[in-house]
Structure 1
Amino acid sequence: MAPLSDTAAKLFGPEIASFRRALRARNLSDNTIRIYTDAAERFANWLAHWPGNDDADLAQSWEEVTRHHIQGWMTSLLETNKASYANNQYRSIQQYWNWWAEAEDLPNPMQKLKPPTVPEQPVDVLRKEQLGALLKSCQGREFINRRDLAIIYIFMDSGVRRAELVGLTVDDVDLDMREIRVLGKGRRHRVVTIGRRAAVAIDRYLRERARQKWADRPELWLAEKNRGVLTKWGVREMLERRGKAVGIDGLHPHMLRHSWAHYNKQNLSEEELMRLAGWRSRVMVDRYGASLAEERAREAGKRRPLGDEL
């Protein structure tokens, strides 16, 4: 979070509080509300401590903010952050201004502005040999090995997001049907599938989980050493540790999601892929697994070359 400075709280705080209440009334997730309001607070702090040379450009209220201020904030973000971060901040503050313009019945200063361009940087896709090494690194009867093996299998078989995996409860898993009910973006539920080996790994984890101090908790994933439930940061740290052990530097959940998309693009239709991944836009189908798109195209071209048919 970006707590408001005293000056920013005085000048811009009341509207941000109203914005937060409006988001809650829309029944948005706590994470979405946090992202949107955090951007508004960061922008308010920047406005309150104007870095420009001309004091005449200082905004003393939201009504005085112009596209010039928003462009200035974007420029300052791009000077010290990645373009993807500035782009995310742009889209988040855009939500504030959409609300503000409607609530105040005033022009939206972000109209006709465009977000910072993000250079395409395809996420690495793991080779099957690397995925196999990850699974092998989790062999063993210890609680932590059985938990990590189950988690990696779910990432590989279903392509769920990290937040979706962390949010799972014991009741969300149906091992007989090999299905898992996840809560995705926009609080939309969907059912994803897993393989037989994943079901066996989860079953073994659940038996070991039943012996833990926190076994009566509804959350599916428990932390090691009786430290309660596993957090999203715990999942990230686990993957980094497991990846490093087998020579995969910087392993993160998104890499496993991209790998799932890459390998399933060959077996599923676009509609099936979108439903299982929780996507609403077909743009995401092209974005995921893009780093190996040329390889897939070459393999497809080899299936029925024209010369072989003549």
Structure 2
Amino acid sequence: MLSDYATHLRASNNKRGRPYAEKTVTAYTKAARTLDRWITAGEQNSTSSTAGVALADFTQCDAPALNLFFRAHYDGGKGERQGGTHTLQRNLRPFFKWLSEEYDHANPYDDARLQRYAHPEDVRPQTLSDEFIRDLLQVTGGGNPRVRAFEKVRDHAIIRVLTEGLRAEELLSLRLDHLHLEQGLIGPVTPLKEARASGEGRIIPLQPKTVVSLTRYLRARESHKRAADPWVWMGTRGRDRLTYSGLYRMLNRRAADAGYGNPDDPESRSIVHPHQFRHTTVDDLLSAGVSEGDVMTIAGWKDPSMLRRYAADMATSRAVTAVKRMGDRY
């Protein structure tokens, strides 16, 4: 059933008339597999209209049963809590719509008894400190032109590009023809998420040091055995393009090199994730006086609610700084 569902997603368009990205297909089928594991474990009880009988498959899931499933996930102690449950509930919606169409199964999402898990509004993005970013840049060579090791040159350039506000997937999808270093630009970068028209893209202006770091990386990249590939970011030891897991591990390894956390300790090895750089970029631009409209353009947003959420973390700090900059008013 899940195999058929994945095939359906790959053969369909989303609500914006664009094919589902493979990452979305994976997320949607992963949500259904999570439900499958819960059903297999037999963790339902008589609250379901199945009167205490263990569910046999997805088509026996009604709203009371899903309420038990989502609550079990919420209380699961996996560090996801309500935010993760909200995402799981959202990602299962297309699956039950498909079940309704293919198996004539009453869609529990149309049942008023289904308990909804909202995205927690009080969770604010974590902005990285200037010191932390400088330390990461320093342990990757500090921009020293005498540093020629491929891995350090690459990692330094990646960190620099992350500070320009690209999403991790956008960074990893960069091709050589996206780089316009003589103009100090990357683009057009096609936004990947939510309510953005096909063919739409944005241009990202680069800091001068980012241009220099990319120029040095491209020289180092010429000796890579996959140099003919169109992708910008190559793996180490001759491997092909960098993956998200590789990017995540690299950042946390470099954080450990800089004295933040211990990669061998499960409790402290996840110090930073790539998306925190995007939060930090928004704060940097707003702190520098860039207008909210221009920040939205650079970030690739159409909905100002995203700007408000990203800006929330350091809003007090920016406000205090702006007022103090005025000096004596009377």
The 8 Å contact of residues 86 and 118 in structure 2, kept in 1 or not, is answered as yes
Write the distance in 2 (CA, Å) between the matches of 1:51 and 1:18.
Answer: 29
Secondary structure of the residue that 2:128 maps to in structure 1? coil
Which residue in the other structure is 1:159 paired with? 165
Which residue in the other structure is 2:304 paired with? 282
Query: Does the alignment pair 1:21 with 2:11?
Result: yes
Q: How does 1:39-50 map to 2 (within 5 A)?
A: 39-50=31-42
Query: Does the alignment pair 1:239 with 2:251?
Result: yes
Which residue in the other structure is 2:174 paired with? 168
- Bigger helix fraction: 1
Q: What is the letter of the counterpart of residue 11 of structure 2?
A: R
Structure 1 stretch displaced more, 22-31 or 288-297: 22-31
Q: Percent identity?
A: 26
The 8 Å contact of residues 126 and 276 in structure 2, kept in 1 or not, is answered as yes
Which residue in the other structure is 1:3 paired with? none
Which residue in the other structure is 1:251 paired with? 272
Distance 1:282 1:98, change over 3 A: farther
1:291: Cα distance to partner?
2.7
Which residue in the other structure is 2:139 paired with? 137
Distance 1:176 1:45, change over 3 A: same
Write the distance in 1 (CA, Å) between the matches of 2:36 and 2:9.
Answer: 13
Unaligned runs of 5+ in 1: 1-8
Tell me which of the two structures has the higher relative contact order, counting C-alpha pairs closer than 8 angstroms and 6 or more residues apart: 1
Query: Does the alignment pair 1:126 with 2:116?
Result: no
1:217: Cα distance to partner?
0.9
Deviations along 1:233-277, one digit per CA (max 9) or x if unpaired, are 111111111112223341221221111111111232222212211
Write the distance in 2 (CA, Å) between the matches of 1:70 and 1:19.
Answer: 22
Query: Does the alignment pair 1:262 with 2:283?
Result: yes
Instruction: Please give the root-mean-square deviation of Cα atoms over the aligned residues, in Å.
Output: 2.7
Matched pairs, number: 297
Q: What is the letter of the counterpart of residue 155 of structure 1?
A: L
The 8 Å contact of residues 5 and 95 in structure 2, kept in 1 or not, is answered as no
The 8 Å contact of residues 16 and 40 in structure 1, kept in 2 or not, is answered as no
Write the distance in 2 (CA, Å) between the matches of 1:171 and 1:21.
Answer: 29
Q: What is the letter of the counterpart of residue 122 of structure 1?
A: R
Write the distance in 2 (CA, Å) between the matches of 1:199 and 1:91.
Answer: 40
Which residue in the other structure is 1:4 paired with? none
Distance 1:102 1:264, change over 3 A: farther
Query: Does the alignment pair 1:292 with 2:314?
Result: yes
Distance 1:272 1:103, change over 3 A: farther
Deviations along 1:26-81, one digit per CA (max 9) or x if unpaired, are 41211112111221232244335431244635445655432112211111111223
Distance 1:135 1:67, change over 3 A: same
1:200: Cα distance to partner?
1.0
Write the distance in 2 (CA, Å) between the matches of 1:275 and 1:135.
Answer: 27
Write the distance in 2 (CA, Å) between the matches of 1:224 and 1:15.
Answer: 36
Q: What is the letter of the counterpart of residue 127 of structure 2?
A: V
Unaligned runs of 5+ in 2: 142-146, 262-270
Q: What is the letter of the counterpart of residue 183 of structure 1?
A: T
Query: Scaled by the length of structure 2, what TM-score is found?
Result: 0.80
The 8 Å contact of residues 143 and 208 in structure 1, kept in 2 or not, is answered as yes
Query: Does the alignment pair 1:31 with 2:23?
Result: yes
Query: Does the alignment pair 1:215 with 2:214?
Result: no
Query: Scaled by the length of structure 1, what TM-score is found?
Result: 0.84
Secondary structure of the residue that 2:202 maps to in structure 1? strand
Write the distance in 2 (CA, Å) between the matches of 1:271 and 1:97.
Answer: 38
Which residue in the other structure is 2:266 paired with? none
Q: What is the letter of the counterpart of residue 299 of structure 2?
A: A
Select the residue among 54, 70, 86 that pairs with 2:66.
70
Structure 1 stretch displaced more, 103-112 or 273-282: 103-112
Deviations along 1:172-194, one digit per CA (max 9) or x if unpaired, are 11101111122331465322121
Q: What is the letter of the counterpart of residue 174 of structure 1?
A: H
1:127: Cα distance to partner?
2.3
Distance 1:61 1:135, change over 3 A: closer
Secondary structure of the residue that 2:44 maps to in structure 1? coil
Distance 1:46 1:164, change over 3 A: same
Secondary structure of the residue that 1:309 maps to in structure 2? coil
Distance 1:155 1:116, change over 3 A: same
Write the distance in 2 (CA, Å) between the matches of 1:72 and 1:13.
Answer: 25
Q: What is the letter of the counterpart of residue 120 of structure 1?
A: D
